[in-house]
Chain A
Amino acid sequence: MNLTLKVWRQKNNQSEGSLETYQVKDISSEMSFLEMFDVLNEQLILSGGEPIAFDHDCREGICGMCSMHINGRAHGPWTNNTTCQLHMRAFKDGDTIVVEPWRSKAFPVIKDLTVDRSAFDRVIQAGGFISVNTGNAVDANSLPIDKKDADDAFMAASCIGCGACVATCVNSSAMLFVSAKVSQLALLPQGAPERESRVLNMVAQMDKENFGNCTNTYACEAECPKGISVANIARMNKEYLQASLTTES
């Protein structure tokens, strides 16, 4: 198939960006979306241009690195899907595809489609862990965990930190990402000792990083490639409330 691409080009963080138009020909429907970008980049290099910078690594939907806003949707038209898992059979000959980076104050553009998501790491630094030094652990089976809680914790823990939830939210809220980590650790007995400080500190850091407030539009859940549920947001709100009440002095 032949396609028209309109892609965001921006030299660096200081410069203004704009959408540039490119044509690609003979794209196979079996290609992945990023392989189509590889074809475009080869074409650009050979014709004396500069390739488009975009983040990607695993190309199998698990590292969370890929991050394209495709035709107005984070990770493109398929649900429960990352950019790298999108395949060209989602498009048809003659289509025009508009590709932009994640847009959020908290995720400044570095170059073209590449953004800076280090804010997520700083939110984890604020409390997204259990304080157990290497060598301090008891036997793993000395702590049975209800299968349902373990499964729910796993579901929350399967967040890949891609930032699609933020990119898709009108407020650029990071609630889905933050609540997934808070939930995972709140559901497990190992997380109990730091339960209160964790949620308070992570939320405080989230606010500091310029993420917006949650107004319950649930766009995040709809676009999350891993199907992280907004039930996690409800759980985090509860955790937060409880923690605020008990730590008030």
Chain B
Amino acid sequence: MAFDSKIPKGEMNEKWNDYKGHVKLVNPANKRKLEVIVVGTGLAGASAAASLGEMGYKVKAFCFQDSPRRAHSIAAQGGINAAKNYQNDGDSVFRLFYDTVKGGDYRAREANVHRLAEVSTSIIDQCVAQGVPFAREYGGLLSNRSFGGTQVQRTFYAAGQTGQQLLLGAYSALERQVALGNVTMYARHEMLDVVMIEDKARGIIARNLVTGELEKHFGHAVLLCSGGYGNVFYLSTNAMGSNVTAAWKAHKKGAFFGNPCFTQIHPTCIPVSGDYQSKLTLMSESLRNDGRIWVPKNKGENRKPVDIPEEERDYYLERRYPAFGNLVPRDVASRAAKERCDEGYGVGTTKLAVYLDFADAILRYGKIEAGKMGDHSASEAALIQLGKEVVKEKYGNLFAMYEKITGENPYDMPMRIYPAVHYVMGGLWVDYELQTTVKGLYALGEANFSEHGANRLGASALMQGLADGYFVIPYTLGNYLADEIRTASISTDHPAFVETEKAVKDRIDTLLNIKGKQTVESFHKRLGLIMWDKCGMARSEKGLKEAIEQIQALKKEFWSDVRIPGEANGMNTELDKAGRVADFIELGELMCKDALVRNESCGGHFREEYQTEDGEAKRDDENFSFVSAWEYVGESDWKLNKEELTFEIVKPTQRSYK
């Protein structure tokens, strides 16, 4: 099977320009004859579908929610990076590129990351032109803030609702194309398989989630923009419906799966409170601009946080990482929180939490505000009041969200937070053109194995999703479709469509006929626990081997004892969920296998056997400087292919934030 990353030759900063200058083009008349299927309408899918529609392709877009506007991207909070250097603080395309390669712990492909940094600036321009209301300064210009792993302010934001605003921008562009007839939208549809004709992806089978009918759709190319699979852990910050099904079906049809074990555990989430819990809520990384993280210096501390004096607090990130302090990258911050809690310094009823404290920031902002008003004798209470207003403007929606869930007011009391599964760097392996190892099948956004290596920096997923959709795929897809202009639309009566549809139908019938005793939800929870305990923040050979056995046993049990009420011919939310959980179970096994062969620690992948004396991740560039690209062979059987990574510009060193 073809396995070539297709990185263009030439200087790093010329590769993309050069590629664009030489890529094959499709003329307007031919574009109208070419059909493109886009699965997913998050930032990646909506931006791709809209842009391809504008270019004149005939696009069909799919999402499982009731409207494209509700894709999981809507929930992104903190912001989006771009190398605009509007703050004049030394930012540049090179620095964003460098930070991303380093932040990813040298497990990303340099050429892709460089392209991402290059197009980042156009994303902001495009979004502003669409009417995305980013935060602004009094002079009317755009405002920025900092995110982890960087020393510049390059993050653009719209309060704590950046994903919402960016997605609504892309959604409006998409709906405009729908109105113009260039895009046909299929909401409440779930793609359940890829249709292959000879060695090319030629369409999909989708289930209409309202009527239950299976539908066959032809496309000259299929783009998977189906998001991440963090929900394999059951509890995560992802939306309830986020799943791996689209990517998994593609994998089983020949698309290699890249770095499946690379998971991002986000340091600041609202802790688990009970076993009824259905999901976890993120408290955006942007809060670490102003919040200080600490635990008490004494084990078993029982006082309220506000009553613990300054000298009895351990601001452990500032202590361990003075150069980056509270803004160390996510993997580092998460592990540090786990370390403190494992050592017995955790807070709250479960002792699995640390404090995120805004008291200092509130006072600091209060002083600035009072200073602006020329009031130099304001009381502390007055300063706090003024400071709270500033903090409210910056993070109001996050604070309100926190209060609704916990019933506590974070303006007066530090937040309690703990790491939670948030994002996956792993995904379908793609080449420089975002094409998977299956011809005509592309993966964009979180669904691909991405530019983030072993750890993604904050505010870079939104950037990557929109880069892929607005600025990369419109070029690279043409390079494939230019050779397809003679392929007439293939009838969905073609045997390949009929057979694939039948296979999908058989699987649904099998699931419904098990009529066992246990609910889908209970299987999902059990899978999640295995994954979190053994393939979560810390992994070991022993644990991973146990996990693989447990998952295989769980799979057997699922296929013999799951209970799915209702029928296939109508809306059946349990059936939808069952199909997704069945795929998660298979994916879980592959993730453990991947974590098991990677005998090193890098980024979010922390193998207990491989750490430095002070507990930092110990990479092994000699043996593991590669992307694992797993090829599906058969049930519980995969072949590992390696894409060796070479670093021309950013020479790997031990990542230090000290």
Contact = CB atoms under 8 A, between A and B. Distances in A.
B131 A45 contact: no
A63 B137 contact: no
A141 B141 contact: yes
Contacts of B163: 62
Contacts of B404: 61, 78, 81, 85, 87
Nearest to A28: B274
B500 interface: no
Interface stretch (B69-77, B296-304, B527-535): B69-77
A93 interface: no
A59 B235 CA distance: 12
Interface in B148-176: 158-159, 161, 163-165, 168, 171-173, 175-176
A38 B165 contact: no
A58 B74 contact: yes
Contact of A132 (B47, B129, B241, B521): B129
A interface SS class:
loop
A151 B571 CA distance: 41
Nearest to B130: A130
B172 A53 contact: no
Interface in A98-146: 110-111, 114, 116-118, 120-121, 124-126, 128-141, 143-146
A158 interface: yes
> Among the interface residues A78, A161, A185, which one has the most CB atoms of the partner chain B within 10 A?
A161
B616 interface: no
A223 B220 CA distance: 46
B240 A49 contact: no
Interface string B117-152: 000001011111111011111111110000000000
Interface stretch (A29-37, A210-218, A241-249): A29-37
B570 A184 contact: no
B54 A141 contact: no
Interface string A50-64: 110101111111111
A57 B127 CA distance: 25
Nearest to B163: A62
Interface in B202-246: 210, 239-241
Contacts of A92: none
B487 to A, nearest CB: 26
B405 interface: yes
Contacts of B179: 125-126
A197 B101 CA distance: 47
Contacts of B137: 147
Contact of A140 (B124, B139, B185): B124
Nearest to A181: B172
Contact of A64 (B70, B138, B279, B522): B70
Q: By CB atoms of chain A within 10 A, which of B66, B126, B168 has the most?
A: B66
Most buried by A among B122, B129, B277: B129
Interface in A50-93: 50-51, 53, 55-65, 78, 80-81, 85, 87, 89
A123 to B, nearest CB: 9
B86 interface: yes
B50 interface: yes
Contact of B131 (A42, A50, A56, A191): A191
B388 to A, nearest CB: 18
A231 interface: no
B566 interface: yes
A62 B74 contact: yes
Given A85-B404, A153-B133, A121 B67 contact: yes
Contacts of A81: 404
Given A132-B129, A135-B126, A136-B129, A50 B172 contact: no
Contact of A134 (B50, B128, B273): B50
B240 A56 contact: yes
A118 B187 contact: yes
A65 B65 contact: yes
B559 to A, nearest CB: 18
Question: Which of A136, A137, A146 has the most B CB atoms < 10 Å from its CB?
Answer: A137
B571 A110 contact: yes
B175 A125 contact: yes
B57 interface: no
A184 B164 CA distance: 14
A133 B168 contact: no
A136 B470 CA distance: 11
Contact of B274 (A31, A57, A128, A154): A31
A125 B129 contact: no
A12 interface: yes
Contacts of B565: 45, 48-51
A55 to B, nearest CB: 6
Contacts of B126: 132, 134-135, 137
A39 interface: yes
B276 A129 contact: no
B176 A145 contact: no
Contacts of B172: 124, 128-130
A29 to B, nearest CB: 9
B471 interface: yes
Interface in B454-492: 470-471, 474
Nearest to B136: A150
A144 B281 CA distance: 34
Interface in A136-185: 136-141, 143-147, 150-151, 153-154, 157-158, 160-161, 184-185
B128 A140 contact: yes
A136 B133 CA distance: 18
B75 to A, nearest CB: 5
B65 A57 contact: yes
B74 A31 contact: no
A190 interface: yes
B136 A145 contact: yes
B119 to A, nearest CB: 10
A38 B470 CA distance: 38
B178 interface: yes
B407 interface: yes
Nearest to A120: B67
B184 to A, nearest CB: 12
B546 to A, nearest CB: 28
Contacts of B102: none
Contacts of A12: 570-571
A158 B129 contact: no
A87 B401 CA distance: 12
B401 A61 contact: yes
B13 interface: no
A131 B67 CA distance: 21
B129 A53 contact: no
23 contacts: A28-B274, A30-B273, A49-B565, A50-B565, A55-B66, A58-B72, A59-B240, A63-B74, A64-B69, A121-B68, A121-B187, A124-B175, A129-B130, A129-B172, A129-B175, A132-B130, A133-B51, A137-B122, A140-B134, A141-B84, A154-B158, A157-B158, A184-B131
Given A28-B276, A132-B130, 5 more contacts: A58-B75, A132-B173, A134-B50, A144-B139, A154-B133
Interface of A: 11-12, 28, 30-32, 34-35, 38-39, 42, 45-46, 48-51, 53, 55-65, 78, 80-81, 85, 87, 89, 110-111, 114, 116-118, 120-121, 124-126, 128-141, 143-147, 150-151, 153-154, 157-158, 160-161, 184-185, 188, 190-191
